[in-house]
Amino acid sequence: MMSNDDFHYYEPAKGHGLPHDPFNAMVGPRPIGWISSRDSKGQLNLAPYSFFNAFNYTPPIIGFASIGAKDSLHNIRETGEFGWNLATRPLAEAMNQSCAMVPPEVNEFELAGLTPTASQRIAAPRVLESPVSFECKLTQILQLQGADGVPVPTWLVLGEVVGVYIARHLLKDGIYDTAAAQPILRGGGPADYFAVTPDNLFRMFRPR
């Protein structure tokens, strides 16, 4: 059994005292919000966000946090919609290219060598190469704040999923095969990612 002496304790406001901030590593690995959007003039944007997850079943709601007022946030505020695209192991390098700090007029689809393809319920395109995509309508944008009530320059963007694309080869007897899609997830450290593979699988059924 461990004792208190076996723990490294720190208060974030006072610094962690470690070579690299461990917060992202402990809350992880995290799914990647690979967000496609377009502004009111039709300029496309594609960017990955590692602060991302699903938050509700009915209706299905997903969300991501924009640390700083980035192009995705601006576009979604203007148009009220966005796409989410699954980042997979074969698309890892392209996903990484799309996070380059470039001016708003640069098309990250072109930068990453990806194909924008039309959605059905929203004007923002999806990534054709991605095996899973969601079409989303904006529901809320919330600026985060600290425990002291002071706003921080981070915005939580929430959207209702109104359209879903799943590559048919990922449906095994009608059941979505998570590992077959080879999703990648963000870990801690400056460059750590993880992949979901079949050998990671274990099952637990809920108690009755």
Q: Which residues 6+ apart lie within 8 Å of 12 measured at CB?
A: 23
Report phi then psi at 133, rounded to 5: -145, 150
**Tokens representing 187?**
């870990």
Closest CA to 183 of 52, 32, 39: 32
* Cα–Cα dist 45/64, whole Å: 15
Q: Is the pTM of this model over 0.75?
A: yes
% of the chain at pLDDT higher than 70: 100
Say whether pLDDT at 25 is over 90: no
Average pLDDT, the chain: 95
Q: Name the residue ranges covered by the structural domains of the chain.
A: 29-192
* Strand pairing category for 116-117 and 175-176: unpaired
Assign a CATH topology to domain 29-192.
Pnp Oxidase; Chain A (2.30.110)
Beta carbons of 176 and 170 less than 8 angstroms apart? yes
| pLDDT interval class at 190 (50, 70, 90) | confident
Beta carbons of 160 and 139 less than 8 angstroms apart? yes
Q: Can you name the residues that pair with 135 across neighbouring β-strands?
A: 83, 163
Within 13 Å, how many C-alpha atoms sit on residue 139's CB side?
A: 15
